[in-house]
Structures are given as C-alpha cells and as structure tokens.
C-alpha cells in the first residue's frame, strides 16, 4: 500500500515512477531469524544424552581396563556416572541436563550476536545516509 502523498505525486506527473514495495527476500529473513532457544536446548539434550549413552555402551563392550579408566574420567565431572549398566541411565540424565544448557546457551549467544551485528550495520547505514544532511539545506 502506497502512502497518500505518493499517490498524489504520481497522479500529477506521469514521469514519476511508482516506488515499489521493498520486499525482503525470504532467504534473508530465514538467515537472520532468531533461533528458538528451547528447541535448540532440546536438540542439544537429545544429542548429548545419546552420545554419552553410546560412549558408555562402547566402553562396556570393550571391557578393557584402559577403556574403563577412560570412561571413569567422566565420573569426575558427572556425579554418579560410571562405566556400568546404571551408568548408562545416569549418563542419559546428565546428557539431557548438560545438552539442554549448552543448546539453550548457544542459541541465546547466537541471537544476541546477530542482533548486535544487525544493529551495528543499521546504525552505520543510517549514519552514511544522513552524513551529508546539512549539505542539502
């Protein structure tokens, strides 16, 4: 929809071209769209818990002392975790918690960075646009 002043201007002078609505490209809108924090947190939770469970199962199947020792190092960071059958379920719980926090945090930081970047670009463009404002008066 064009403003009334533009319609009057266009109707009085046929040589004035109509300003077209500037539609943003849907690809650009999707590229700069904010990430959904909860969805990213849930995705991180699924991936982290699955990886931790798979690692525990692989270490259990190997059954060597070196594999058990390598897996037990995770027990120093994840309370209650060990390379055992109950450790798989404890690892799933820890994976859900840590993965959700990491995914949520990543989306939060990414959204803030994109917002700051776009704000900076917009303010620079406005400064360039109005830098010669007084020259035209």
Q: What is the pLDDT of residue 10?
A: 47
Q: What is the pLDDT of residue 24?
A: 62
Q: What is the pLDDT of residue 37?
A: 94
Q: What is the pLDDT of residue 103?
A: 96
Distance CA 136, CA 68 (A): 76
Distance CA 107, CA 23 (A): 27
Q: Which is nearest to 107 in space by CA: 42, 47, 50?
A: 42
Q: What is the pLDDT of residue 21?
A: 45
Q: What is the pLDDT of residue 18?
A: 42
Alpha-carbon distance values, 125 to 23, 52, 56, 72, 111 (Å): 18, 47, 53, 55, 21
Distance CA 44, CA 105 (A): 10
| CB neighbour list of residue 102: distance below 8 Å, 6 or more residues apart | 44, 48
Strand, helix or coil at 109?
helix
Query: Mind listing the pLDDT tens digit of every residue in the chain (137 residues)?
Result: 445 444 454 444 444 444 444 456 777 777 778 889 999 999 999 999 999 999 888 888 887 777 778 777 888 888 888 888 888 899 899 999 999 999 999 999 999 999 999 899 888 888 888 877 776 66
């Amino acid at each position: 929809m064009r403003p009334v002043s533009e319609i009057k201007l266009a109707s009085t002078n046929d040589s004035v071209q109509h300003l077209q609505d500037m539609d943003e490209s849907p690809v650009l809108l999707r590229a700069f769209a904010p990430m959904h924090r909860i969805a990213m947190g849930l995705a991180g939770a699924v991936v982290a818990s699955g990886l931790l469970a798979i690692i525990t199962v692989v270490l259990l199947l190997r059954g060597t002392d070196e594999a058990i020792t390598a897996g037990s190092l995770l027990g120093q960071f994840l309370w209650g975790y060990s390379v055992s059958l109950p450790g798989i379920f404890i690892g799933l719980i820890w994976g859900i918690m840590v993965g959700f926090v990491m995914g949520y945090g990543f989306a939060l930081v990414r959204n803030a960075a994109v917002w700051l970047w776009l704000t900076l670009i917009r303010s620079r463009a406005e400064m360039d646009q109005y830098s010669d404002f007084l020259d035209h008066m």
